[in-house]
Amino acid sequence: MVGAALGAVAARPWLGLAGWALLAGTFGLSAGLYLLHLALLRLCPPHDLRKRYGASWALVTGASSGIGKSLTVRLAEQGLDVVMVAYPDKVLDKSHAELKKRFPKRKFVKVPADLGSAGYLETVEKATEGLDVQCVFSNAGYMLTGFFCKSELPQVLANLECNVTSGVAICHHFARRMLAKDLPGCIVLTSSAAAAMPSPMSIMYSATKSFVSAFGAGLAAEVTSKGIDVCVVHPSPVASNFYDKAKKMDMLDFFKNFAVSPDQLPDEIFRSIGRTVWADVGATAQGFRLMMKVVDYNFLSTLLAKIGHTFPDYKRHDN
């Protein structure tokens, strides 16, 4: 069949030109609509979430540092009280004390919880009993690097629990509460630019973030008409302690050169809520999205399977 098709193209060169023109036109239309969407979004001001939903309380997971802390600060600036869910350590204690001092009129509920182990949902439920949480930011997550088969299974499953299951559980709990009380609100999920493509040596991260993106897209179709906006954020690299525990990887070092301050993200995220389901924030995330409109996912996966062993990162950790 392939040979017959190639023969037909050879006999009629215009067929080949027409095929290339069709492919170029299809990509041009897809990329053009994507870029138009980004341009129109840039013209919109960030939402004031307290006014948009008549909300008093927000919840942020991973609130002690990085994107989560920046979101917490911005929510407080808008007049919202915030439930801060984060790993139980001194970083959470310090951030909680700092924000209470910085915003004396706002309430900050500190919820120490390990989202990678059992029991976190009960802890969150108890801490938020009686609070109408209308803005939910499922932001917690971390990256395991190195070979999947060399990682211990409990470590892998804890990563899966934190990056995926905890977000599903927390979103399910608060979405049901909002629906039961007929309250408007938003659910914002932090995914990653890595969700757009296969990522050897950090496969749990790209795989879990792909789930988050698909989960948010499906959830949006179910609850938007009921007054709950869902937005999945794909940030570009952010300068935070996110990479501190990652193993040495040339690819990570390369992208860290383009990292931006987490304080630049909240307004971009608030601008996207209610206006788009997937929000690609920053040049890296937008570049990945455009690239995957040209390069087929399976082609890229197959190519990486054939040449991945030649990469320096592979050789460095294959011992």
What Cα–Cα distance (Å) separates residue 35 from each residue in 21, 40, 92, 271, 314? 20, 9, 38, 16, 35
Helix or strand run (H / E) with residue 281: strand 278-281
Least confident interval from 32-36, 49-53, 164-168, 276-280: 32-36
What Cα–Cα distance (Å) separates residue 163 from each residue in 140, 200, 247, 269, 296? 7, 17, 19, 19, 26
Pairing mode of beta strands 133-138, 57-61: parallel
- Start-to-end CA distance of the chain, whole Å, equals 45
pLDDT in the model for residue 137: 98
Least confident interval from 57-71, 111-125, 242-256, 298-312: 242-256
Please tell me the distance from the alpha carbon of residue 232 to that of residue 203, in angstroms, as a whole number: 20
Percent of the chain with pLDDT over 70: 87
Please tell me the distance from the alpha carbon of residue 10 to that of residue 258, in angstroms, as a whole number: 46
pLDDT in the model for residue 12: 59
pLDDT in the model for residue 16: 52
pLDDT in the model for residue 20: 53
Helix or strand run (H / E) with residue 88: none
Nearest to 133 by CA among 84, 182, 185: 185
pLDDT in the model for residue 155: 95
Ordered by where they begin, the domains of the chain are 50-317 (3.40.50.720)
Beta bridge partners of 46: none
Torsion, Cα 167 196 188 269, to 10 degrees, reads 150
pLDDT in the model for residue 5: 46
pLDDT band at 100 (very low <50, low <70, confident <90, very high): very high
Q: What is the pTM of this model?
A: 0.88
Q: What is the pLDDT of the chain when averaged over all its residues? A: 89
Please check the confidence at residue 4 and state whether its pLDDT lies above 80: no
The burial class, CB within 10 Å (0-12 / 13-18 / 19+), for 176 is: exposed
Please tell me the distance from the alpha carbon of residue 94 to that of residue 83, in angstroms, as a whole number: 15
CB atoms closer than 10 angstroms to residue 309? 11
Cβ neighbors of 78 (< 8 A, separation 6 or more) are: 48, 49, 50
pLDDT in the model for residue 2: 43
Please check the confidence at residue 113 and state whether its pLDDT lies above 90: yes
Cβ neighbors of 74 (< 8 A, separation 6 or more) are: 266, 267, 270
* Range 82-90 average pLDDT: 97
Helical segments of the chain, H only = 2-11, 13-42, 49-53, 66-77, 90-102, 120-127, 153-160, 166-180, 203-223, 250-256, 265-272, 283-294, 297-307, 312-317
Sign of the C-alpha dihedral computed for residues 256, 154, 88 and 281 taken in this order: positive
pLDDT in the model for residue 282: 87
Nearest to 230 by CA among 178, 175, 273, 268: 273
**Could you tell me the two tokens for 252?**
């990570």
pLDDT digits (tens, 9 = 90+) for 226-285: 999 999 999 988 876 666 666 677 677 676 676 778 889 999 999 999 999 999 998 888
Q: What are phi and psi of 126, to 5 degrees?
A: -65, -40
Please check the confidence at residue 14 and state whether its pLDDT lies above 60: no
**Could you tell me the two tokens for 12?**
């009629």
**Could you tell me the two tokens for 203?**
């496969």
* Range 5-13 average pLDDT: 53
pLDDT in the model for residue 34: 86
Please tell me the distance from the alpha carbon of residue 186 to that of residue 84, in angstroms, as a whole number: 17
pLDDT in the model for residue 9: 46
Please check the confidence at residue 45 and state whether its pLDDT lies above 50: yes
Angle between helices 153-160 and 203-223 (to 10 degrees): 30
* Range 1-8 average pLDDT: 49
pLDDT in the model for residue 318: 76
pLDDT in the model for residue 249: 73
Between 11 and 33, whose confidence is greater? 33
